[in-house]
Amino acid sequence: MSYVLYYAPGAASLAVHWMLVELGVAFRTERLDLAAGDQRSQGFLQINPSGRVPALVIDGRVYTESAALLMLLAERHPEAGLAPAIDDSRRAAWLELTVYLANTLSPAMRDWFYADQDGEPADAAAIRRLAQRRIEGAWGRLSTLLGDGRPYLLGDLMTTADLLATMLMRWSRNMPRPATPWRHIGPYVVRMRARTAFQDVCDREGLTDWRND
Ligand SMILES: N[C@@H](CCC(=O)N[C@@H](CS)C(=O)NCC(=O)O)C(=O)O
């Protein structure tokens, strides 16, 4: 089995990169500089015609979409226990949460960061306002979920949903209302950032902010 991850520092590829480190499997990376436009190079467009990261090449075939890649990796490495098994009573909550993060929070993040590029620049302020409302709504929902004192989003089991959620929380660090001041999110983020694999992936990607140390 071989893995090659196309990533850009701190981008949607971060959760997948983190997962590969958590799994302790062998993998290779190809780094893209999004500011320099590497994602629009002919070479990368042949890998992923949508011109976005992450792209994960598994045994020679390319797969994309961070949430799908996390679920796929969890299925390929069940011994890591990063997803509830199919007959586990927490499975439904894991699917629900993953789809919520990928379907509601993640597109709002895209709108926040790419409003000028994906739409008309004249509409960008209105798009950002709506995105901000949706993003802050998500922090409220996740904080409520964590409010019963559970260490991870699904309870005692840390799953791929935590990797995805933490990456999305990180993206909010310079927004008007970042995720971390939400009452139950702050301690959760500290717990997630304390993971050796998180610190390792930050080192690999050269991410110096939003760390515990
Ligand atoms: N839904 C995709 C979103 C991927 C995405 O939008 N990636 C951004 C980085 S966070 C990207 O590649 N942007 C480059 C561009 O759009 O030019 C996923 O979760 O994998």
34 lines ligand 1 (CB under 6 A): yes
Q: Is the pLDDT of residue 1 over 90?
A: no
pLDDT digits (tens, 9 = 90+) for 148-175: 999 999 999 999 999 999 999 999 999 9
Q: Is the pLDDT of residue 15 over 90?
A: yes
Ligand 1 atom at shortest distance from the alpha carbon of 12: 10
Distance (Å, whole) CA 41 – CA 105 = 28
Report the SS3 class of residue 6: strand
Q: Pick the closest to residue 178 from 109, 115, 117 (CA basis).
A: 109
Ligand 1 atom at shortest distance from the alpha carbon of 8: 9
The residue nearest atom 16 of ligand 1, judged by CA position, is 52
The residue nearest atom 5 of ligand 1, judged by CA position, is 52
Distance (Å, whole) CA 99 – CA 106 = 10
Q: Is the pLDDT of residue 213 over 90?
A: no
For residue 149, the CA-to-ligand 1 centroid distance in Å is: 33
For residue 168, the CA-to-ligand 1 centroid distance in Å is: 12
Q: Which band of pLDDT confidence, cut at 50, 70 and 90, is reported for residue 42?
A: very high
Distance (Å, whole) CA 51 – CA 74 = 25
The residue nearest atom 14 of ligand 1, judged by CA position, is 52
Structural domains of the chain, with CATH:
3-80 (3.40.30.10), 91-195 (1.20.1050.10)
pLDDT digits (tens, 9 = 90+) for 44-102: 999 999 999 999 999 999 999 999 999 999 999 999 999 999 999 999 999 999 999 99
pLDDT digits (tens, 9 = 90+) for 116-139: 999 999 999 999 999 999 999 999
Reading across the β-sheet that carries 28-31, which strands appear in turn? 28-31, 3-7, 55-58, 61-64
